[in-house]
Chain A
């Protein structure tokens, strides 16, 4: 393509230009639509694991990946809301473990029908979130410390009341209710997609979302503008806790056992924070994406599942996970600087 005749030169130059425009547009999309880079990683990973092992993209395995993604993504949505408003909640993972027990207590100890028992579990989760929010906003305890406290407190309550033993799914909940709430092959994924869709709209298209960003971006400014900043933060703590409860109930019904180890202590909340961060939510507050968090959770599930299939043990998984978080944080900083300077 290095013809010396001027006439021949024209065509490749034009093609080059078109290619350049395409690349530049691609770059713009990558910079502007920040979820794009995460999506590309998720797809690349799927291609890699499919090449390494035929099983990866089979129906059964996709269901496994979906079921690993869903609870982490649901919790991550709540984490994103909190991170955007400048807070964090370490206790949502225990709320996830506690919620199915609350359903079990209500149904089996107090004879309450299943659906009202669900409502009670969600109400108690909301109350836990409310307490976290009040401690953070009214008593000015940093949320990292406050929710560390509530993490241990709730864990203690969970272990004492359950005697650290798993319980059975209440018989009244078996059948249709259990299928809808987690036991169906794709049920947790459907719940997860619904949650992601709703909160994507909440965060980007509603007043609540705008005010959540404002509170995390400029707390004093938001207060001066008359935004009820405490109400926004407390509300987000409540929603994060209720999403934790949903994830826990779905997970218990899926594994067909109410296990105090659901959420694995800190594992669920750490996975959710990782998913949020990999998805492009900054810890500084003021920005974040729910869809990114879903993709982040998907990437983590793919990694875990793929490693399993290839036959790599769980131990090096942490090395990959740690590197992924560090890398995505650095990339995030770089991309947001590009975005700020109007790059792309």
Chain B
């Protein structure tokens, strides 16, 4: 299978803090890759490097076989990379449908085509099966899970070929979480979209992902197909490091 995305020797520092030391990662066409790691391991930072938000200090990105230097989030979007950020990137003061088309607004001449955006937003949310009664409502009025659904819908229905989902299930109820997982499975079944998904719930990771990567100490230290790894093994992997450190008295 061909890789749609290759990350090679990527490093990113914030002042004195090294968030990513030497990351190597690849994403195959049509694959769902789970990215796990401790809080503060640098998962979100890696996502933000891939989506053009952060410039890496070192290393290179290869998208669809071509090396690219991403200038901006828009640049990454133009290459088919779209993101659900951990912070969701929603504008409280705007309506649901304006948020769903943020920075990708439909227009008639210089004016916003609100009618078309409203209609599409409604259709997409319905298609997703998430209950958001009114697309005209300000996002500020939504619940945490509804807000997350809007952010996920925005990315999923953007025609992206590479989807980066940073904890898209964090605020989701059991039913809505399943909805989103089903959605990801649907995308996978169509085989056009490749996904990197960050989650702290390993059961969900094993459930929906083809492969899992562990980010530790600024690089990927574990890479296996989910078929070859169990929930216990994953948990053990993450906890063992903490246990060892405690044994060494650190």
Residues of A within 8 A of B (CB): 201, 205-207, 210-211, 213-214, 216-218, 220-228, 286-287, 340, 342
Contact = CB atoms under 8 A, between A and B. Distances in A.
B29 to A, nearest CB: 25
27 contacts: A206-B111, A207-B105, A207-B107, A207-B112, A211-B103, A214-B91, A214-B94, A217-B93, A217-B94, A218-B89, A220-B87, A221-B85, A221-B87, A221-B88, A221-B89, A221-B90, A222-B89, A222-B102, A224-B83, A225-B103, A226-B74, A227-B103, A228-B72, A286-B92, A287-B93, A340-B141, A342-B141
B98 interface: yes
Interface string B35-46: 000000000000
Contacts of B114: 205
B110 A222 contact: no
B237 interface: no
B77 interface: yes
Q: 10 smallest A-B Cβ distances: which pairs?
A: A226-B73, A224-B89, A221-B89, A286-B93, A217-B93, A226-B74, A214-B91, A217-B91, A225-B103, A225-B102
Contacts of A220: 87, 89
B78 to A, nearest CB: 10
Contact of A225 (B89, B93, B107, B111): B89
Contacts of A227: 102-103
Contacts of A223: 53, 73
B140 A340 contact: yes
B73 to A, nearest CB: 3
B91 A286 contact: yes
Interface string B2-23: 0000000000000000000000
A137 to B, nearest CB: 15
Interface of B: 52-53, 72-74, 77, 83, 85, 87-94, 98, 102-103, 105, 107, 110-112, 114, 138, 140-141
A224 B73 contact: yes
Contacts of B107: 207
Contacts of B94: 210, 213-214, 217
A228 B71 CA distance: 12
Contact of B91 (A207, A213, A226): A213
A224 B85 CA distance: 8
A170 B234 CA distance: 81
A226 B93 contact: no
Contacts of B93: 213-214, 216-217, 286-287
A42 B105 CA distance: 36
Contacts of B111: 201, 205-206
Contacts of B110: 206-207
B77 A226 contact: yes
A69 B195 CA distance: 56
Nearest to B90: A221
Contacts of A216: 93
Contacts of A225: 73, 89, 102-103
B196 to A, nearest CB: 16
